[in-house]
Chain A
Amino acid sequence: MAGIVSYGFYIPKSRIRIGDIAKVWGKEEKNISASLKVQEKTVAGIDEDALTMAYESSTMAFSDVAIDKRKIGAVYVGSESHPYAVNPTSTILAEMLGIHGSYLASDTEFACKAATGALISGLGLINSKMADYVLVAASDKAQSMPHDVLEYTASSASVSLIMGRQDLLLKIIDYSTFSTDTPDFWRRDGIRYPSHGGRFTGQPAYFYHIYNASTDLLTKTKLKPEKFAHAVFHMPNGKFPIQIAYKLGFDFNQLKQSLVVEKLGNSYTASALLGLVSVLEVAKKGDLIFFASFGSGAGSDAFVFQVTDNIIQRRKRLSVSINDKKYIDYATYLKFMDVI
Chain B
Amino acid sequence: MISIIGYYTTQFGELWGKSLYNLVKETIDKVLPEANLEKEQLGAVFFGNMMAGLLENNLHAGAKIAEILKLNIPVFRVEAACASGGSAFNLALNYIKSGQIETALVIGAEKMSDFSPEQVVGGLSSASSGEEQESGLTFPGIYALMAQSYFNNHKISQEDLACISVKNHFHGSLNDKAQFRRQISVSEVLNSPYVAYPLKVLDSSPISDGAAAVVLTSNKKILKKAKKSVTVLASEVVNDTLSLKKRRHLDSIEATRIAADMVFKKTGLKRSEIDIAEVHDCFSIAEIMAMEDIGFWKKGNGAKAASSYATMYGRSDHLVVNTSGGLKAAGHPVGATGIKQLGELYLQLTGKAEKRQIKNAKYGLAHNVGGSGGTVVVTILGN
Question: Which A residues have a C-beta under 8 Å from some C-beta of B?
Answer: 27-28, 31, 195, 198-200, 203-204
Contact = CB atoms under 8 A, between A and B. Distances in A.
A198 B117 contact: yes
A31 B16 contact: no
B14 A199 contact: yes
Contacts of A198: 116-117
A204 B193 contact: no
B14 to A, nearest CB: 6
15 contacts: A27-B193, A28-B193, A31-B191, A31-B192, A31-B193, A195-B116, A198-B116, A198-B117, A199-B14, A200-B14, A200-B16, A200-B113, A203-B16, A204-B16, A204-B17
Contacts of A203: 16
A31 B192 CA distance: 8
Given A198-B116, A203-B16, A204-B17, 12 more contacts: A27-B193, A28-B193, A31-B191, A31-B192, A31-B193, A195-B116, A198-B117, A199-B14, A200-B14, A200-B16, A200-B113, A204-B16
Contacts of A204: 16-17
A293 B17 CA distance: 24
A199 B112 CA distance: 13
B185 to A, nearest CB: 16
Contacts of B117: 198
Contacts of B116: 195, 198
Contacts, number: 15
A75 to B, nearest CB: 38
B249 to A, nearest CB: 31
A31 B113 CA distance: 23
A183 to B, nearest CB: 11
| 10 tightest Cβ-Cβ pairs between the two chains A and B | A204-B16, A31-B193, A200-B16, A28-B193, A199-B14, A27-B193, A198-B117, A204-B17, A200-B113, A200-B14
Contacts of A199: 14
Contacts of B16: 200, 203-204
A195 B118 CA distance: 12
B376 to A, nearest CB: 32
**Interface residues of A, dominant DSSP:** helix
Nearest to B117: A198
Nearest to A204: B16
Nearest to A31: B193
Contacts of A27: 193
Interface string B191-202: 111000000000
Contacts of A200: 14, 16, 113
A200 B191 CA distance: 25
A306 B193 CA distance: 45
Contacts of B17: 204
Contacts of A31: 191-193
A92 to B, nearest CB: 36
Interface in B168-191: 191
Nearest to B201: A31
A203 B113 CA distance: 14
A95 B193 CA distance: 51
Nearest to B207: A198
B237 to A, nearest CB: 35
Contacts of B14: 199-200
Most chain A CB atoms below 10 A, which of B16, B17, B116, B192: B16
Contacts of A28: 193
A203 B191 CA distance: 26
A255 B117 CA distance: 34
Contacts of A195: 116
Nearest to B192: A31
A31 B202 CA distance: 13
Nearest to A27: B193
B11 to A, nearest CB: 14
A31 B200 CA distance: 13
Contacts of B113: 200
Nearest to A202: B14
Nearest to A195: B116
A203 B192 CA distance: 23
B368 to A, nearest CB: 27
Interface in B1-53: 14, 16-17
Contacts of B193: 27-28, 31
Contacts of B191: 31
A39 B113 CA distance: 29
A206 B191 CA distance: 28
B195 to A, nearest CB: 12
A28 B165 CA distance: 21
A151 B117 CA distance: 17
Interface string B345-382: 00000000000000000000000000000000000000
